[in-house]
Chains A and B, each alone.
Chain A
């Protein structure tokens, strides 16, 4: 086993462990917002770690570009999805108020702007 093989193993194992952490968080946490919190961060980082491990293992191959593209797309699209889902979850009160320390959207939710359509 060369040093690069060991690096690949470490990256892929830690990425898989992060994916498992995300899944346990999605299963165990109490409301939608904390499930999103548990899911998104380890999910993106775990995927990037696995992709980095695979790219090191497949080094020299022309298809490594697709792995890099996948990482870029994931990093670009994850905030958009989290923004949409988080806003919807807040609007429909899928939030446990006793778990919030501050609620910065409280006033804007009480007085919605004219012409501001839900969704």
Chain B
């Protein structure tokens, strides 16, 4: 079984690195939000793999907490963030200058 855990961990680490590149590059807030969602999902996959590898079930509560908190976070960012591009037709929507 050890090779299975090593291969799965390597793939998940590569996925996390690729997602973090997109999170740094942007170019808009929404791209970073999508990348953050993917990063959290990759983290949840890694926690699940760790639980299966180590037979340690205390981390499964963290999985459920992550699933709920990432929902609240993403919806809040989508609702309350400042738009990247200013909209001259809408004075309330100034955006970053």
Q: Select one of B1, B34, B79 contacting A5, CB under 8 A.
A: B1
Cα separation A32 to B11 with both chains bound (whole Å): 24
In the complex, 28 of the A-B residue pairs with CB atoms within 8 angstroms, ordered by the A residue number, are: A12-B52, A15-B8, A16-B45, A19-B41, A22-B15, A24-B15, A26-B38, A27-B19, A39-B37, A46-B41, A47-B48, A50-B45, A50-B48, A53-B52, A58-B51, A63-B57, A63-B60, A66-B61, A67-B63, A70-B63, A70-B66, A73-B68, A74-B44, A80-B75, A81-B37, A84-B78, A84-B79, A92-B83
A84 nearest CB across to chain B (Å):
4
Please name all residues of chain A whose beta carbon is closer than 8 Å to the beta carbon of B70 when the two chains form the complex.
77
Give the residue among A12, A40, A89, A93 with the most B Cβ atoms within 10 A. Answer: A12
Contact of B31 among A5, A15, A35, A43 (CB under 8 A): A35
Q: A32-B31, A77-B67 are in contact. List 19 more A-B contacts (CB 8 A).
A: A8-B52, A9-B1, A9-B4, A12-B48, A23-B16, A32-B28, A32-B30, A43-B42, A50-B45, A51-B48, A61-B57, A66-B61, A67-B48, A67-B51, A70-B63, A77-B70, A92-B83, A94-B28, A94-B30
Q: Looking at chain B, what size class is its interface with the partner chain?
A: 35 or more
Tell whether, in the assembled complex, residue A15 and residue B45 are in contact, meaning their CB atoms are under 8 Å apart.
yes
B52 in contact with A89 (CB, 8 Å): no
Measured in the bound complex, the distance between the Cα atoms of B93 and A119 in whole Å is: 10
A114 contacts chain B at the CB level, 8 A cutoff: no
Q: B12: which A residues are within 8 A, CB to CB?
A: 16, 19-20
Residues of A contacting B16 with CB < 8 Å?
Answer: 23
Q: How many residues of A contact B (CB 8 A)?
A: 52
Q: How far is the CA of A93 from the CA of B84 in the complex (A)?
A: 11
With a cutoff of 8 Å between Cβ atoms, the chain B residues found around residue A89 in the complex are 30
When C-beta atoms are compared, the residue in chain A nearest to B51 turns out to be A54
B85-A26 in contact (CB<8A): no
Interface residues of B in 15-56 (CB under 8 A from A): 15-16, 18-19, 21-22, 28, 30-31, 33-35, 37-38, 41-42, 44-45, 48-49, 51-52, 55
